[in-house]
Amino acid sequence: MITTLLNKIKETKAPVCVGLDPMLAYIPDEVKKAAFAEKGENLEGAAEACWRFNEAIIKATVDLIPAVKPQIAMYEQFGIPGLIAYEKTVRFAKELGLIVIADVKRGDIGSTSAAYAEGHLGSITIGEKQFFPFDADMATVNPYLGSDGVKPFLEVCGRCDKGIFVLVKTSNPSSGELQDQLIDGEPLYARVADLTSAWGESLMEGAWSNVGAVVGATYPKMLAELRARMPHTFFLIPGYGAQGGKAEDLAVAFNAQGEGGIVNSSRGIIAAWKQEKYQNFGAEAFADAARQATVDMILDLQRCIRF
């Protein structure tokens, strides 16, 4: 999977992932009104609004980008209808040729992680038939439970040509409360980085592993340190834009060929129509605003990263 992602990044010259985090506040009233008229002003209507919003954003950006990253929490908040909208979004993006990185942050005891891994990336056999429940291409994994929680994902990645991104150094302000704690003089995130590299050894494709790492754009020093420490680990880099991460700070994550990571922006793109910079588009052209914000992000990254 990592080779497919790399090739798509090279084709588009865009190490960019559009984050599909559809909160109701980002969805224009007209889209919500139409969805509520069809499904009711309830969870189903809200989920329908998310789906319509995503469909428009995906169509408007598909030719520019290699991947999207739906954040499952934004769908789970609407219960079962939300999960249906999530599944529709994953399927639609894949049909249009995008790589789907499911931001699910799963990880548990082994048997439970196995169920997560099959549900999100793999398959389940019922009777004589095999089903592919969510069938994303890659997923984020929480390593807090250690190898027990990660190994089931490795098994599914190997069998189904999928990939994962392990949370190593997250972008949020309080990530240091645990991740920067020193153990024998080294921060915990460095330990997790070493484990992640080791988990990735059996899933190499060329120079890169199908076991990647999440490293926040908001911690450029650690991004540079982790790039040196994890030469074969591809990075999913959230925190650009809305959280303050800057293109200048991210160049350290990429090698001379422009390889090394993919940068996510969610609110900065999907809610662009609400920003002053894109206000001339208006609510009705929210998808065009998202396209323009994507173009701007690509140009911004291209300024700092060579291909």
Ligand X SMILES: O=c1ccn([C@@H]2O[C@H](COP(=O)(O)O)[C@@H](O)[C@H]2O)c(=O)[nH]1
Q: Which residues are catalytic?
A: 105
CB 54 within 8 A of CB 18: no
Least distance from ligand X to the Cβ atom of residue 257, Å:
25
Residue number, 66 or 239, with CB nearest to ligand X: 239
Residue number, 44 or 107, with CB nearest to ligand X: 107
Residue number, 149 or 241, with CB nearest to ligand X: 241
Least distance from ligand X to the Cβ atom of residue 38, Å:
27
Taking Cα atoms as reference points, which of 130, 135, 40, 124 lies closest to residue 92? 135
Q: Give the separation between CA 18 and CA 297, rounded to whole angstroms.
A: 10
Q: How many CB atoms lie within 10 A of CB 110?
A: 14
Least distance from ligand X to the Cβ atom of residue 307, Å:
23
DSSP secondary structure letter of residue 22 = -
Pairing outcome for strands 186-187 and 182-183: antiparallel
Residue number, 56 or 141, with CB nearest to ligand X: 141
Residue number, 212 or 216, with CB nearest to ligand X: 216
Q: Identity (one letter) of the amino acid at 187?
A: P
Least distance from ligand X to the Cβ atom of residue 239, Å:
6
Question: How many Cα neighbours within 13 Å face the side chain of 39?
Answer: 18
Least distance from ligand X to the Cβ atom of residue 215, Å:
8
Residues 6 or more apart whose CB falls under 8 angstroms from that of 159 comprise 122
Q: Identity (one letter) of the amino acid at 131?
A: F
Q: How many CB atoms lie within 10 A of CB 28?
A: 18
Dihedral, 224, 227, 228, 230 alpha carbons, nearest 10: 150
Least distance from ligand X to the Cβ atom of residue 138, Å:
13
Pairing outcome for strands 16-20 and 67-70: parallel
Q: How many CB atoms lie within 10 A of CB 271?
A: 21
Q: Give the separation between CA 232 and CA 23, rounded to whole angstroms.
A: 35
Q: Quick one: the chain helix, strand, coil %, rounded to 5? A: 55, 20, 25
Residue number, 171 or 209, with CB nearest to ligand X: 171
At residue 259, the 3 state secondary structure works out as: coil
Q: Where along the sequence are the contacts to ligand X (CB under 6 A)? A: 19, 21, 71, 103, 170-172, 214, 216, 238-239, 241-243, 264-268
